[in-house]
Amino acid sequence: MLSASFTLDPAFTVAPVSRRTFGSFVEHMGRCVYTGIYEPSHPTADADGFRQDVLALTRELGVSVVRYPGGNFVSGYRWEDGIGPVADRPVRRDLAWHSLETNEIGIDEFMRWARKAGVEVMYAVNLGTRGVQEALDVQEYLNQPDRTHLARLRQANGATEPYGITMFCLGNELDGPWQTGHKTAHEYGRLAMETARAMRSAEPGLELVACGSSSSSMPTFAAWEAEVLELTYDAVDYISAHAYYEPVNGDLGSFLASAVDMDHFVTSVAATADSVGAKLKSAKKLKISFDEWNVWYQSAFQATQETEWRVAPRVIEDSYTVTDAVVVGNLLISLLRHSDRVTAACQAQLVNVIAPIRTEAGGPAWRQTIFHPFALTSRLARGEVLRVEPRSPRYDTARFGSVPLLDAVATHDAGSGDVTVFVVNRHLTESLDLVVSLAGFGAGLRVTESWTLADEDLHAMNTADDPERVVPGPAKDADVTDGVLRASLPPVSWTAIRLTTG
């Protein structure tokens, strides 16, 4: 039997758990908005047309912040199209996803949805086809209390109080040639700097996110961050990171080690930012907003070509396996491990489009396999992230070389005394015995709940007909004796164990 171990001590902390780590993403793409969060004819629809079954699942998922309205969509979006009487709103072409946007849902409607869901909004401004003035205009509409033209327009549209959005993304993936309004790093950096300065002049307390690389495989990766940050460093608070993962040519071993790439991405961006900060003699530590991440079968999407202009076509509605869910759980471990730098993150997206929640028009909503590790991590990760240095057997991968079979992170809530351990076993066929020393916490810790996500069929998934085919169950043999936690981790599994004193 294989075994792995580590020691936890409350004195060795990384950073506080940031609630913004558990963010999501709603883009006007495919069926994320229309028949996703919004479907007036649905049996569960409320007076605003929002699906209450999706609202309930969003709350259960534990989403803290939602990035909106894009994504690639935002680089051609005119926010003014989505305000005022719905009957008067124009239908526009969306070049990003080759579809028609009806603008039935705009700022005011989405803010109502966000308040019902209990989430903060991270708003993205269009720096693809627009610029400084349009960013100032949408900020004024959202946040200006009264007296100005756009504040009064918002009030006339039913929102008497400002929305108070504090976090703004300065564009989206403008390093990418696919992006409407694609720019060089210098072009984007200059525009982002001028936009940031203007927005801060209007509202000094904003948190602003500059576009980083859209993936670490971009040929301009790191060079893009360096050039953009040399222009924007003192004007922004965050640099963004985006990453998607999939099994390539059936290579599950490398796929299960995807968090190795996420770790490298974060440390590379942090090192680049720190290098720029040192060059500029700045004492500020820039944070990272990992505001797009997930498993996405991107190679299958690239083979699909839309020819018609349609409203809310089905776009990248991936169905997720238990293996995908284990990878998602491991990516959450990576994000928590880097809580000293990554203080905001958004799984893309919330509903239907590479999403933890799926719906059918007029029909059910259900939890995909990737719903479960996200919901449990969001609920259980509290307090401080603890430093974890596992001792684990290793295995060879085609993409990442030798990697450990076990990956882990833990959190400690000093107020409640709770300690939660999050672990994955990446072995395809063998269980892994886990041993965790808890001596630093004194006597009295006991297992109060434990969850494992695994299945003998690595391709098992949840569907509308069988929505609970893959659900978490109790962790096997999880128990504490003499200050040592022991558990048995099945092959290809994600596990969370909460321990409490008393």
Residue 97: how many other CB atoms lie within 10 Å: 21
For residues 399 and 52, give the distance between their C-alpha atoms in angstroms, rounded to a whole number: 42
Is residue 215 within 8 A of residue 243, CB to CB? The reply is yes
What does 45-109 look like in DSSP terms, one character per residue?
B-TTSBBHHHHHHHHHHT--EEEES-SGGGGG--GGGGSS-GGGPPPEEETTTTEEE--SS-HHH
- Closest C-alpha among 149, 370, 365, 407 to residue 261: 407
Helical axes 322-337 vs 258-279, angle rounded to 10°:
30
The tokens describing 449, both together, are 């709940």
Of 39, 80, 292, 384, the catalytic one is: 292
What does 312-329 look like in DSSP terms, one character per residue?
S-----PPPBHHHHHHHH
DSSP 219: T
Q: Distance between terminal CA atoms of the chain?
A: 32
Q: Is 274 left (phi over 0), alpha (psi -120 to 50) or beta?
A: alpha
For residues 427 and 184, give the distance between their C-alpha atoms in angstroms, rounded to a whole number: 42
Of 39, 101, 140, 173, the catalytic one is: 173
DSSP 475: P
For residues 178 and 32, give the distance between their C-alpha atoms in angstroms, rounded to a whole number: 21
For residues 290 and 285, give the distance between their C-alpha atoms in angstroms, rounded to a whole number: 16
Is residue 253 within 8 A of residue 397, CB to CB? The reply is yes
Sequence-distant (≥ 6) Cβ neighbours of residue 59 within 8 angstroms: 117, 118
The tokens describing 414, both together, are 């000093």
For residues 207 and 235, give the distance between their C-alpha atoms in angstroms, rounded to a whole number: 10
Pairing label, strands 2-7, 432-437? parallel
Q: Is 101 a catalytic residue?
A: no
Q: Is 292 a catalytic residue?
A: yes
Question: Residues in the chain, how many?
Answer: 502
3-state class of 342 per DSSP?
A: strand
Could you list the active site residues? 173, 292
